[in-house]
Amino acid sequence: MKQLSFLSSEQLSNWLIEVSQQKSTGDLPDYIPLLQETDPNLLGICIITKNNNILNQGYCQGKFPLMSIIKPFLLLYLLSELGEKFIFKKVGSKPSRYPFNSIEQLQLDEGFPRNPMINSGALTLASLIPGKDSEKKCYNLLQWLNKQSQCNLFVDQSMLDSVRSLPNIRNKAILEELNQRNHIQNPDITLDTYNRICCISGSIIDLAKLGLLLVNSPNINPKNVILVNNIMTTCGLYEASEKFAQKIVFPTKSGVSGGILSIVPAQGAIACYSPPLDAQGNSIAGLSLIEKIANYLKQSNT
Ligand code: GLN
């Protein structure tokens, strides 16, 4: 089998050229004004192996909000702070066939969030972050992530203002359902915490470094790493998770900003950025790049 560490810059740059033709077919999310203004032609990839070898091509230094890519790291943080038993009393780990911000799925499940990769689960987890208010809660998560991954992630205030300018109708409806069923307290603090953590931002290099926490990290319980990777594999791309997992077995998580992160177990992490999205809200070029790498890794060494 080929290894991630065998990849060359030439190979990566050829793949970037190939996928750049597909970029125009997707859409930018129209519900967050600042994301709507992003340049759809931005495209970058960064691979970091477990030995910290970095290979990157394209748009690498620019920062973007992680949006839903924060969800697996929110889960990882809370598993380490509060433990598996407590967390899985609050959220499930089953895939959903409904969109990431579906209220219908939550109602069908009688108010129990199906998994932490969709909004009902991530909102519930956001409510559990230690801290007296949304600012402190977000700070606690951010500090932990930066310390563990040696990154300089930060909250993008303009993006947060843009997210806060929305009516946030679906997330508010999810919170109301969760609150009515006594699953969370303080829906306002929870919504603001969730919005803040979705605006945690960095480059694809930061994102790949963050991904290494799910490969091998001396300070993180390997059991929690396995739990998060498994949930990413089955739920990380929303309704498209099952279809994608049949082609590519890597745990993968996307966000509406166009970022996408894949973990290659025992080898390293792949972070991509390209804003145009498919109908499920996953980066089209990002998925395509990850598929190319997965096919490459399947080949024998000859
Ligand atoms: N802030 C976004 C939302 O809740 C994040 C969603 C995503 O990246 N899929 O709508």
Choose between 20 and 189: higher pLDDT: 189
User: How large is the average pLDDT for residues 76-104?
Assistant: 96
Residues with CB under 6 A from ligand 1: 67-68, 100-101, 119, 171, 198, 255-256, 281
Nearest ligand 1 atom to the CA of 195 is 1
Looking at residue 24, its pLDDT comes to: 61
* Distance of CA 22 from the midpoint of ligand 1 (Å): 23
Domain ranges (residues) in the chain: 4-298
User: How large is the average pLDDT for residues 104-128?
Assistant: 97
Nearest ligand 1 atom to the CA of 257 is 8
* Distance of CA 255 from the midpoint of ligand 1 (Å): 7
CATH class label, 4-298? alpha beta
Q: With 70 as the cut, is the pLDDT of residue 287 above it?
A: yes
Q: With 90 as the cut, is the pLDDT of residue 216 above it?
A: no
Looking at residue 65, its pLDDT comes to: 98
* Distance of CA 68 from the midpoint of ligand 1 (Å): 5
User: How large is the average pLDDT for residues 172-195?
Assistant: 97
Closest C-alpha to ligand 1, atom 2? 67
Neighbours of 155 (CB within 10 A): 18
3-state secondary structure the chain: CCCHHHCCHHHHHHHHHHHHCCHHHCECCCCCHHHHCCCCCCCEEEEEECCCCEEEEECCCCCEECHHHHHHHHHHHHHHHHCHHHHHHHCCCCCCCCCCCCHHHHHHCCCCCCCCCCHHHHHHHHHHCCCCCHHHHHHHHHHHHHHHHCCCCEECHHHHHHHHCCCCHHHHHHHHHHHHCCCCCCHHHHHHHHHHHHCEEECHHHHHHHHHHHCCCCCCCHHHHHHHHHHHHHHCCHHHHHHHHHHCCCCEEECCCCEEEEEECCCEEEEEECCCECCCCCEHHHHHHHHHHHHHHHCCCC
User: How large is the average pLDDT for residues 131-159?
Assistant: 97
Q: How confident is the model at residue 202 (pLDDT cuts 50, 70, 90)?
A: very high
Nearest ligand 1 atom to the CA of 163 is 1
User: pLDDT by residue (tens digit) across 231-273?
Assistant: 999 999 988 888 888 888 899 999 999 999 999 999 999 999 9
User: pLDDT by residue (tens digit) across 9-50?
Assistant: 999 999 999 998 765 678 999 899 999 999 999 999 999 999
Q: With 70 as the cut, is the pLDDT of residue 1 above it?
A: yes
Average pLDDT, the chain: 95
Looking at residue 302, its pLDDT comes to: 59
Looking at residue 240, its pLDDT comes to: 86
Instruction: Say if CB 254 and CB 294 are below 8 A apart.
Output: no
Looking at residue 249, its pLDDT comes to: 81
User: How large is the average pLDDT for residues 130-149?
Assistant: 98
Select from 66, 164, 256, 278 the residue to mutate for testing ligand 1; criterion: most ligand atoms less than 8 Å from CB: 256
Share of the chain above pLDDT 90, in %: 89
The sheet carrying 252-254 orders its strands as 54-58, 44-49, 268-273, 259-264, 252-254
Looking at residue 244, its pLDDT comes to: 86
Closest C-alpha to ligand 1, atom 4? 119
Distances from the Cα of 65 to the Cα of 16, 181, 215, 225, 272, angstroms: 22, 31, 22, 23, 13
